[in-house]
Structure 1
Amino acid sequence: MRFLPARYLTTAILLALLGWLQWQIWIGRGSYPSVELMRQETAVQRASNELIRQDNERLANDIADLRDGREKMEEIARQELGMIKPNEIFVQYTRP
């Protein structure tokens, strides 16, 4: 059995290594397409997190208002339940 000369063996090893590195860059884990997909998913998640943060902030403000006084409870009762005070006229209109 005859072996390849050392220079051919070195060249073959280097080409195999180069091929493996190219495969990792273009197809493997952490490749350009997968990184771009992760960036897009991250952007969508950040937008979702921002909406949830705003909603949480609004809810925290509502809770603080409910704890501090009766004005918020009265506002909710009027808006959602249509409650009115004695000797008060309730007029509801819709915007065009």
Structure 2
Amino acid sequence: MKWLTAILLILLCALQYRLWFGKNSILDYRQMRQEVEQQILQNTNMKQRNSLLKADIHDLKIGLEAIEERARNELGLIKQDETFYRILPAEQSY
């Protein structure tokens, strides 16, 4: 009976070691779970970015106002017979 108890105790210790420190252990599970949560957050951010880009593409395909606004802001273009004024902030003297 003592041998059986000893063998069962050794087997229990070996299984516990594998559960906590072996391959696919609880520690591996927790680490993998954190990685999945980070990936979900990244995917959410990318989906939001993609939807903004799709809306921007839609505006550029449909409306000329969006194209004109982009040309004015990014390229500094002005219409024919239009005067461009740039207002600079006043210099501060100390």
Q: Does 1:64 align with 2:58?
A: yes
Structure 1 residues without counterparts, runs of 5 or longer: 1-6
Q: Which of 55, 59, 67 lines up with 1:73 in the alignment?
A: 67
TM-score under structure 1 length normalisation: 0.73
Q: What stretches of structure 1 move > 3 A for 4+ residues in a row?
A: 89-94
TM-score under structure 2 length normalisation: 0.75
Sequence identity percentage: 43
Give, as a single letter, the amino acid of the residue that structure 1 aligns with 2:8. L
Q: Which of 44, 47, 51 lines up with 1:53 in the alignment?
A: 47
RMSD: 2.3
2:27 maps to what in 1?
33
Count the aligned residue pairs: 89
